[in-house]
Amino acid sequence: MIKAIFFDYDGVLTTDRSGSLTTDRYLSEASGIAQSTISAAFQPFIGELIMGRVTHAQIWNEACQAIGKELDIGLLLGAFESTPVNAGMFNLARRLKHNHAVGIITDNRQDRMDHLRQHQQLDALFAPIVVSSEVGSAKDTQAIFVHALSRAAVAPRESIFIDNSEANLRAARALGMHGVFHDDAKNDVEALGLQLEALGARIGDSATSNAQ
């Protein structure tokens, strides 16, 4: 019996395949600096940010030096809020919530997810929300999935994890979770729903979900 379905955040619940893409694009548009320059400046810090070893505030000056221009760190809030929601996927999560726990497991920066939890009201729909920077482990190891399963009080075989990267499914599958790949380029939410049903998930009525 499937008791919990976990969604990746970027590339599944959003239409941008990564949070870096969203943030870099916004900072580029706001500053007039090439997106490739922004991306190259922040690239060395991504791993540390995702693992929660540093914050944006701690690396901001160094990143700006690499960019060659001092940017207002306040731009980050606009960058976070520019994250494009995958409306169809959110609706699927609402429909699944009639019969299952629905949560998020994401490799992400803590300040970004803290802000988005409020801005997008994520906690009203998803529980638990497990962020790599908060737990100190990423999706390339089983630890983050063990933590999520413990929070949801379910066994691996009773859960499904959806991600837009096959590599991110390996540790989950090795643990015994059902790993489902979502092609973010196609974003075929209907086909994903059929895959979930084939694994034993029960999807509620869309009209009822939309009314909530």
Q: Which domain holds residue 63?
A: 19-81
Residues 67 and 103 in one domain: no
Q: Concatenated DSSP letters for 111-163?
A: HHHHHHHHHTTGGGT-S-EEEHHHHT--TTSSHHHHHHHHHHT--GGGEEEEE
Taken in order 212, 12, 133, 54, the sign of the CA dihedral is negative
Residue of 203, 207, 208 lying closest to 5 (CA atoms): 203
Q: Which of 54, 81, 108 is the last residue of a domain?
A: 81
- Both tokens assigned to 86: 């995958």
Q: Which of 55, 81, 107 is the last residue of a domain?
A: 81
Distance of CA 160 to the CA centre of its chain: 15
Residues 200 and 157 in one domain: yes
Question: pLDDT value at position 211?
Answer: 41
Q: Which of 40, 60, 81 is the last residue of a domain?
A: 81
CA distances to 9, 14, 22, 197 from 202, rounded to whole Å, are: 21, 23, 32, 6
Residues 67 and 99 in one domain: no
3-state secondary structure of 101: strand
Q: What is the CATH number of the domain that holds 111?
A: 3.40.50.1000
Question: pLDDT value at position 207?
Answer: 52
Residues 199 and 132 in one domain: yes
Residues 67 and 110 in one domain: no
Residue of 63, 208, 158, 52 lying closest to 145 (CA atoms): 158
**pTM exceeding 0.85:** yes
For the chain, 212 residues long, the average pLDDT of each consecutive 10-residue run is 98 97 98 98 97 97 97 97 98 97 98 98 98 97 98 98 98 98 98 97 73 42
Asked, as a colleague might, if the bond just before 128 is cis with ω within 30 of 0, I would say yes
Residues 102 and 35 in one domain: no
